[in-house]
Chains A and B, each alone.
Chain A
């Protein structure tokens, strides 16, 4: 009775502590969702550009939209209604379907300073004569109603020349006035969101606005809208991760409860056994939000997966609990083994803490704190509340039968070496790359969505994402001047077909010095009037029709040159921001290319373009990033293995026992890698995490089997505990391997395979020891 009250008091205290902790967590927890947390840190300015481009750059804010499911005229009309419906929506900087033909006000005002045509021809009599002859043809054409209002002030149609030079150089085909794909089945749109690509909440808001506008614009039930782009991905992944985490979590919990009930047949135990892992989760969360501020949603998803190991700790305790044994004495007897497992697993995760990748460090912090708390609470708190009224698991007839059935022949040393040799051979000889070097593979976006994205990107003629040139300059003005200086060289690359096109800031905003040159070439009033008189000869234009033109040219002569600051918060200024990046107190001006047919030509061009210009192969840079990250993590893991070996050595005190404990886990890791390789899987960061997780589990199993030694009852109790552990873990990761999120799926497959092999090998190898022990005895 007295013991019961004490147990209740301890339980109350524990629950109170958890309550307080969860209150703190709920208050301080801020969920971040920037996927770049899982990307490596940049080592060079070029790599910084790669990472910027993935996050905040204009490309990341771009949503590609395709409308399908009706005939062409209906789709063209739908496209237009969608653009009209989204006009003025604050979630979007711009929405373009190829029909846009109205220029912003400042373009009209600054046309004689902005138009590249002004460099090719002065506003003299010959130019004007040609222009007026063309305008006469315009007035006799069906375009007359559109052009007629422009002609008196802009007889050379400079505004149209600017609009044409700004238009995408490789635009999709027009059908019915709007962009269509090459097959003519989908109409295409591009939307630039206000929110950054990795702001899922902002993106969700923009996507909701897009959906609403689509539903309002839709006239036929069959019409479909497909949206792609980084923003769509981050919103989708957030939603999908939440949904899958919920159902996988629920399924895993239900399965775990069922398993525990079958194993111990005490409903009360189910609740008590959950306390260490609940403590682990809360303590992990609290520590991450304390250390890092934001907790990434993926850290949470992975973290809860990884601390699932902690569920094993109470299971070991319960499986060894029996009548006549004080729970605290039981915990104390198991503690050395349990602690060795906890410490060595934590040591492995230390490798990720030192990986230099914020997301991984968060994950490591969460897991290490969580496992430590779970271990300590299993040792010092759980025994005080469970009571000792348990049947000895060693008496279970079914367990004895299971033990006999699971008794594989212990693999002789030769066979072990044979397996190692086969695995090593498979690893090295399997075709396909060993490592996944594609940075894109680190984003948890399903492949079919990435393929759809690449398809739309190709159709819309979005710039090539692989090659980029950078010109560094002290000021924006200097950068624009340098861009203007290298433009003829770039144009000759287009001329030779080495590239299909290029794009940079000076195409939209000429340098102030270029604007002043154009200003100086504008004729004074008398000169312009004389030229106009000559040009108008023999043409039926009424006298005085062009006085608005005379006034506008006179005004253009005195305008202060346009600078980026004057553009305000317009679509053009956000476009320029993407091309002109502040860097180290100066400016990095980007040149984007489309249709690069000959990368060597780019190298030749950059050699002549000046020391301040470099060409970046983003693919090569991103591969280097991934490789650098992996090398660092592998080095950390190697150090971790050494430290872990020392931990186990300290605990077991005998190198032979160390070898027996470490062998199953090493063999399993080797075998899993070999299986993945043979299956054609290239290993990535998430495989490494999974392998470490599986190795940690295997180490636990081996440690407990090693502890049991040759004692029959102890072996049976240990087997009971490890069976429950392995089955529950196996179930959780089998569920995970059903996930539609590729990363979760690959973790699921890797760990469930690892758990399976670890269990079998740990059992078999400890058996060989047990047999040896019996033989010796």
Chain B
């Protein structure tokens, strides 16, 4: 149950990603999930690095993610252009200034769907929900922890290799989505420190796989 959680009223945004590894992040998935759990609504800044075979360099956008409750997530881009994506159930709406709104079905976007499921389950501390969709692998190292979510649904597996969440203490720092067909992974850096996300070394330190 969600009640009784110490940090329930705190916004995720307010938590520094590199906060000292607290008492919560013990050695197991359960204690990690307990530490990560938050009550909606939650809002967190992000910087996303995305590559495409059509492009010769990665695209970088920054903005905030707003989590409003199970299945409801808004992705608001503020730079280099403005864009708002709302996920509500199976429906994804993308709005941009001076352009007609576009609607998609979430089923056509397993990448986004996987991210949403992962996000929702992590914030709800719902291990059972996570394991319905993913195989979980937890690793802990000197610089923090890593949770690898490997989808087991055939549809998602055709598109996503895995979703890797890196973090420290009770805050995730980076979510890396690796596509199944061998393209470049998409990196989503979370938290207030994304201002210097352009620093490749820092990015690598926060997102690189923990072995």
How far is the CB of B85 from the nearest CB of chain A, in Å?
A: 5
A72 and B89 contacting across the interface, CB-CB below 8 Å: yes
How far is the CB of B96 from the nearest CB of chain A, in Å?
A: 6
**Chain B: interface residue total (CB-CB under 8 A):** 38
Q: When the two chains form the complex, which single residue of B89, B100, B104, B159 contacts A76, counting CB atoms closer than 8 Å?
A: B89
Contact partners of A137 in chain B: CB under 8 A: 81, 83, 96
Q: B106 interface residue, CB < 8 Å from A?
A: yes
Known: A137-B83, A540-B55, A540-B56. A145 touches B159 (CB 8 A): yes
Q: B50 interface residue, CB < 8 Å from A?
A: yes
List CB contacts (< 8 Å) of A58-86 with chain B: 72-73, 76-77, 80
A164 and B100 contacting across the interface, CB-CB below 8 Å: yes
Q: B92 interface residue, CB < 8 Å from A?
A: yes
**Chain A: interface residue total (CB-CB under 8 A):** 32
How far is the CB of A409 from the nearest CB of chain B, in Å?
A: 77
A137 and B54 CA atoms in complex are apart in Å by 13
A174 and B54 contacting across the interface, CB-CB below 8 Å: no
Q: B94 interface residue, CB < 8 Å from A?
A: yes
B59 and A177 contacting across the interface, CB-CB below 8 Å: no
A152 and B92 CA atoms in complex are apart in Å by 24
Q: B7 interface residue, CB < 8 Å from A?
A: no
B91 and A144 contacting across the interface, CB-CB below 8 Å: no
Q: A397 interface residue, CB < 8 Å from B?
A: no
A146 and B54 CA atoms in complex are apart in Å by 14
A293 and B52 CA atoms in complex are apart in Å by 69
A148 and B52 contacting across the interface, CB-CB below 8 Å: yes
B107 and A177 contacting across the interface, CB-CB below 8 Å: yes
How far is the CB of A366 from the nearest CB of chain B, in Å?
A: 56
Q: B111 interface residue, CB < 8 Å from A?
A: yes
A175 and B88 CA atoms in complex are apart in Å by 8
A174 and B109 contacting across the interface, CB-CB below 8 Å: no
Give a binary string over B92-119; 1 marks a CB under 8 Å from any A CB, 0 the rest: 1010100110111111111110000000
Q: When the two chains form the complex, which single residue of A77, A142, A160, A177 contacts B91, counting CB atoms closer than 8 Å?
A: A177
Q: B44 interface residue, CB < 8 Å from A?
A: no
How far is the CB of B75 from the nearest CB of chain A, in Å?
A: 6
Contact partners of A164 in chain B: CB under 8 A: 100
For B60, give the chain A residue with the smallest CB separation. A140
How far is the CB of A75 from the nearest CB of chain B, in Å?
A: 10
A175 and B103 CA atoms in complex are apart in Å by 11
A540 and B61 contacting across the interface, CB-CB below 8 Å: no
B90 and A139 contacting across the interface, CB-CB below 8 Å: no
A143 and B55 contacting across the interface, CB-CB below 8 Å: no
Q: B187 interface residue, CB < 8 Å from A?
A: no
A67 and B73 CA atoms in complex are apart in Å by 26
Q: A655 interface residue, CB < 8 Å from B?
A: no
Q: A247 interface residue, CB < 8 Å from B?
A: no
Known: A73-B71, A142-B85. A175 touches B91 (CB 8 A): yes
Q: When the two chains form the complex, which single residue of A99, A141, A160, A175 contacts B89, counting CB atoms closer than 8 Å?
A: A175
Q: B48 interface residue, CB < 8 Å from A?
A: yes
Contact partners of B103 in chain A: CB under 8 A: 174, 177
Known: A139-B52, A164-B100. A176 touches B108 (CB 8 A): no
A140 and B188 CA atoms in complex are apart in Å by 12
A141 and B55 contacting across the interface, CB-CB below 8 Å: no
List CB contacts (< 8 Å) of A540-579 with chain B: 540-542, 545
B54 and A542 contacting across the interface, CB-CB below 8 Å: yes
How far is the CB of B166 from the nearest CB of chain A, in Å?
A: 21
Q: When the two chains form the complex, which single residue of A140, A177, A541 contacts B105, counting CB atoms closer than 8 Å?
A: A177
A585 and B52 CA atoms in complex are apart in Å by 56
How far is the CB of B189 from the nearest CB of chain A, in Å?
A: 15
Known: A137-B81, A141-B85, A146-B109. A176 touches B55 (CB 8 A): no
Contact partners of B59 in chain A: CB under 8 A: 136, 139-140, 540
Known: A137-B81, A542-B56. A176 touches B90 (CB 8 A): yes
A140 and B57 CA atoms in complex are apart in Å by 12
A217 and B127 CA atoms in complex are apart in Å by 28
A540 and B106 CA atoms in complex are apart in Å by 28
List CB contacts (< 8 Å) of A71-114 with chain B: 72-73, 76-77, 80, 99, 101
For A152, give the chain B residue with the smallest CB separation. B54
Contact partners of A101 in chain B: CB under 8 A: 104-105, 108
Contact partners of A178 in chain B: CB under 8 A: 90
How far is the CB of B111 from the nearest CB of chain A, in Å?
A: 5
For B61, give the chain A residue with the smallest CB separation. A140
For A545, give the chain B residue with the smallest CB separation. B54
Contact partners of A407 in chain B: CB under 8 A: none
How far is the CB of A175 from the nearest CB of chain B, in Å?
A: 6
For A139, give the chain B residue with the smallest CB separation. B52
For A79, give the chain B residue with the smallest CB separation. B90
A76 and B107 CA atoms in complex are apart in Å by 12
A146 and B85 CA atoms in complex are apart in Å by 14
Q: A134 interface residue, CB < 8 Å from B?
A: yes
A174 and B91 contacting across the interface, CB-CB below 8 Å: yes
For B54, give the chain A residue with the smallest CB separation. A545
Contact partners of A143 in chain B: CB under 8 A: 92, 94, 102, 104, 109
B90 and A134 contacting across the interface, CB-CB below 8 Å: no
A134 and B102 CA atoms in complex are apart in Å by 13
A209 and B129 CA atoms in complex are apart in Å by 35
B159 and A177 contacting across the interface, CB-CB below 8 Å: no
A101 and B107 CA atoms in complex are apart in Å by 12
Known: A176-B88, A177-B89. A141 touches B83 (CB 8 A): yes
B159 and A176 contacting across the interface, CB-CB below 8 Å: no
Known: A137-B96, A145-B111, A177-B107. A541 touches B54 (CB 8 A): yes
Q: A318 interface residue, CB < 8 Å from B?
A: no
Contact partners of A99 in chain B: CB under 8 A: 105
Q: A151 interface residue, CB < 8 Å from B?
A: yes
Contact partners of B91 in chain A: CB under 8 A: 174-177
A175 and B92 CA atoms in complex are apart in Å by 10
How far is the CB of B124 from the nearest CB of chain A, in Å?
A: 16
How far is the CB of B154 from the nearest CB of chain A, in Å?
A: 16
For B51, give the chain A residue with the smallest CB separation. A139
How far is the CB of A582 from the nearest CB of chain B, in Å?
A: 37
Known: A148-B54, A177-B103, A177-B106. A142 touches B89 (CB 8 A): no
B89 and A140 contacting across the interface, CB-CB below 8 Å: no
For A71, give the chain B residue with the smallest CB separation. B89
B83 and A73 contacting across the interface, CB-CB below 8 Å: no
How far is the CB of B95 from the nearest CB of chain A, in Å?
A: 10
Give a binary string over A519-544; 1 marks a CB under 8 Å from any B CB, 0 the rest: 00000000000000000000011100
A723 and B48 CA atoms in complex are apart in Å by 93
Q: When the two chains form the complex, which single residue of B54, B60, B90, B112 contacts A73, counting CB atoms closer than 8 Å?
A: B90
A76 and B108 contacting across the interface, CB-CB below 8 Å: no
How far is the CB of A776 from the nearest CB of chain B, in Å?
A: 91
Contact partners of B107 in chain A: CB under 8 A: 80, 177
B50 and A140 contacting across the interface, CB-CB below 8 Å: yes
Contact partners of B109 in chain A: CB under 8 A: 142-143, 145-146
A76 and B91 CA atoms in complex are apart in Å by 10
Known: A73-B90, A145-B159, A175-B88. A139 touches B104 (CB 8 A): no
How far is the CB of B28 from the nearest CB of chain A, in Å?
A: 31
A142 and B54 contacting across the interface, CB-CB below 8 Å: no
List CB contacts (< 8 Å) of A115-162 with chain B: 134, 136-137, 139-146, 148, 151-152, 160
Q: When the two chains form the complex, which single residue of B57, B92, B159 contacts A142, counting CB atoms closer than 8 Å?
A: B92
B75 and A142 contacting across the interface, CB-CB below 8 Å: yes
A142 and B188 CA atoms in complex are apart in Å by 12
A-B pairs with beta carbons under 8 Å apart, 18 shown: A73-B71, A77-B90, A139-B50, A141-B83, A142-B92, A143-B92, A143-B109, A145-B108, A148-B54, A164-B100, A175-B88, A176-B91, A177-B90, A178-B90, A540-B55, A540-B59, A542-B54, A542-B55
Give me 8 other A-B pairs in contact (C-beta within 8 A), A175-B89, A177-B89, A540-B55 excluded: A73-B71, A99-B105, A101-B108, A136-B59, A142-B92, A146-B109, A148-B54, A174-B91
Task: Give 9 nearest A-B pairs by CB, closest first.
Answer: A176-B89, A177-B105, A176-B90, A140-B59, A177-B90, A177-B91, A142-B112, A540-B55, A540-B57
A residues with a Cβ closer than 8 A to B are 72-73, 76-77, 80, 99, 101, 134, 136-137, 139-146, 148, 151-152, 160, 164, 174-178, 540-542, 545
